[in-house]
Chain A
Amino acid sequence: MNAKLANRVATIIITSFAYLIILILAGLLGYILYNGLSVIDWDFVTSPPESLSAGGGIGPQLFNSFYLLILTMLITTPLGLGAGIYLSQYAPKNKLTNGIRTSIEVLSSLPSIVVGLFGLLIFVTYTGWGYSLISGALALAVFNLPLMVRITEEAIETVPKEQIEASLALGISKWKTITHVILPAAIPGILTGTILASGRVFGEAAALLFTAGMSSPALDFTSMDITSSSHPLNPFRPAETLAVHIWKVNTEGLIPDAREVADGASAILVLSVLVFNITARWFGSWIYRRITSHS
């Protein structure tokens, strides 16, 4: 076989792999949306689920998913940024640093069900909080931190050394250089990574079964008492998320329309992630413009 032919064959093969992946994705998405979209209407998205009869919605679960995502990111982002900045800019090259890196690697390969059971032990039982949003958020933070640290570290490493030199050569302190030169330049990378991490949080079920719980109290959006378990923002109330709900109706749901509810909920889940991605990207470039242009 001559080189020209070999080149063409190889090109065709790798191109078809790329298209195959797109095809699989399109097939999955198409299947989920085809089955789900017919179920979705305003009532389905806003009303609470039924326990025995058909016609229930997924309102509280949808809200819980978003709220839990926000809580998790509030915990993960500062910790991940801090650790990432430390590892990339301050950590000396020694055994301790290597130990930290290895721990992060190990943490990132823990199965999420193990993280969930750890959460049950520490955040649910030991703290006495019971099944609650805060326990779920903390468990997800454990699950998400390694990714966040690595994302931050990698995004910072891609900032050209010349940028850092330029700042230091002007007599700017290291910390100011980090916050005003390195981080703004790293933000697109950090944000893309955060979106990925968020997608994982949004779709996670196993780590939440025993931490945020498998039930959601009836939410009262007019409630003013944040300590009440019906207040949507009370972080100490149990909160079943969309992904957990899909799992639950499929395994132990008693409602006659379990299949339809699961289809609809899956479609909502996928669409939510899509919407979240797009807004996050837009938000990221907006932040980038704000930090980098005239103050």
Chain B
Amino acid sequence: MNNNIIECSDVSIYYGPTQAIRNVDITFPKSSVTAFIGPSGCGKSTFLRSLNRMNDLIPNTRVTGEILLDKEDIYSDAIKVDQLRKKVGMVFQKPNPFYKSIYDNIAFAPKYYGKKKKELDEIVESSLRKAALWDEVKDRLHKSAYALSGGQQQRLCIARAIALKPDILLLDEPTASLDPLSTQKIENLVVELKQEYTIIIVTHNLHQAARISDSTAFFYMGNLIEHTETKKMFTKPSQKKTEDYITGRFG
């Protein structure tokens, strides 16, 4: 039985002449949370961004190897990038709601894909409920998203991403700019959301990786050093480098 939604083999990523990711093989099972850890500049964010082709925006970026999403190579010419990104949602390090109302932040993309007004109301409510934000904002849906706190803004961004019903959610250090309480809410949310979505999260916070992920991947200098069950990773890592990193000897 093969339950993997993404399968990457021999993936290398180059920025011009610099190689940022070296021959990475990794698979992601459906409805699981995978955490990427590693010191700054190790390539974990770069790798994450190759999964929805956000790296395309950076000039002179080149990806070699194969990334299969549902058995389809996402870098083949047959793939429409827009459709790919609809299936692979993303939340960024800094909350980045649009300069629009809370409602329009969520309705913008579904409307673009042709959803009608009545459906939009439902999508907005269900997305906000899933992001555990509905009760806090239901009375001010048409107020600016920037009236919300940082943590609320980040949950709004998560709601915005799941409004498109993606299969996969990529979270790029989603709690790096948030206070502990907001961080905890996002972490609870991630655990909640994995029922429906496959989640890949980049984090600098090892405790966070340990708390919420099923499996953890450790990147170092562009190499994937180890990818294994989170419990095993934090108790009995098989690589010396991993052990050094998680025990705080470097990084």
The interface of chain A, by Cβ under 8 A from chain B, is 160, 162-163, 165-173, 176, 180-181, 184-185, 292-295
Contact = CB atoms under 8 A, between A and B. Distances in A.
Contacts of B96: 160, 162-163, 165-166
Contact of B57 (A160, A163, A168, A176): A168
A177 B85 CA distance: 14
A170 B99 contact: no
A143 B146 CA distance: 39
A151 B41 CA distance: 36
Chain B CB within 10 A, most for which of A162, A165, A166, A176: A166
A292 B100 contact: yes
B103 interface: yes
B100 A169 contact: no
A46 B118 CA distance: 54
A295 B142 CA distance: 10
A292 B145 CA distance: 10
Contact of B85 (A163, A170, A180): A170
14 contacts: A165-B54, A166-B92, A166-B96, A166-B160, A167-B108, A169-B92, A170-B161, A171-B84, A172-B112, A173-B82, A176-B112, A292-B104, A293-B144, A294-B141
A184 B105 CA distance: 14
Contacts of B203: none
A288 to B, nearest CB: 9
Given A165-B92, A170-B164, A294-B103, 5 more contacts: A166-B160, A168-B54, A171-B86, A292-B100, A293-B100
B47 to A, nearest CB: 16
A184 B100 CA distance: 9
Contact of A180 (B57, B89, B108): B108
A109 to B, nearest CB: 31
Nearest to A92: B59
Interface of A, secondary structure class, is helix
B86 A292 contact: no
Contacts of A176: 112
A295 B108 CA distance: 10
B157 interface: yes
A171 B99 contact: no
B171 to A, nearest CB: 12
Interface string B102-117: 0110001100110000
B99 A185 contact: yes
- A-B pairs, 3 with minimum CB distance: A171-B86, A162-B96, A171-B85
A48 B142 CA distance: 51
Contacts of A172: 82, 108-109, 112
Nearest to B82: A171
Given A163-B98, A176-B112, A169 B85 contact: yes
Contacts of A163: 96, 98-99
B83 interface: yes
B94 A162 contact: yes
B128 interface: no
A167 to B, nearest CB: 7
A294 B101 contact: yes
A181 B142 CA distance: 17
A293 B147 CA distance: 13
B152 interface: no
Contacts of B83: 171
Contacts of B92: 162, 165-166, 169
B237 to A, nearest CB: 32
A290 to B, nearest CB: 11
B11 to A, nearest CB: 20
Interface string B42-83: 000000000010100100000000000000000000000111
Chain B CB within 10 A, most for which of A169, A293, A294, A295: A169
Nearest to A167: B98
A117 B101 CA distance: 50
A165 B92 CA distance: 9
B98 A166 contact: yes
A273 B103 CA distance: 39
B35 interface: no
Contacts of A184: 99-100
A292 to B, nearest CB: 5
A222 B195 CA distance: 72
Contacts of A180: 108
Contact of A292 (B84, B85, B109, B144): B144
A170 B104 contact: no
B90 interface: yes
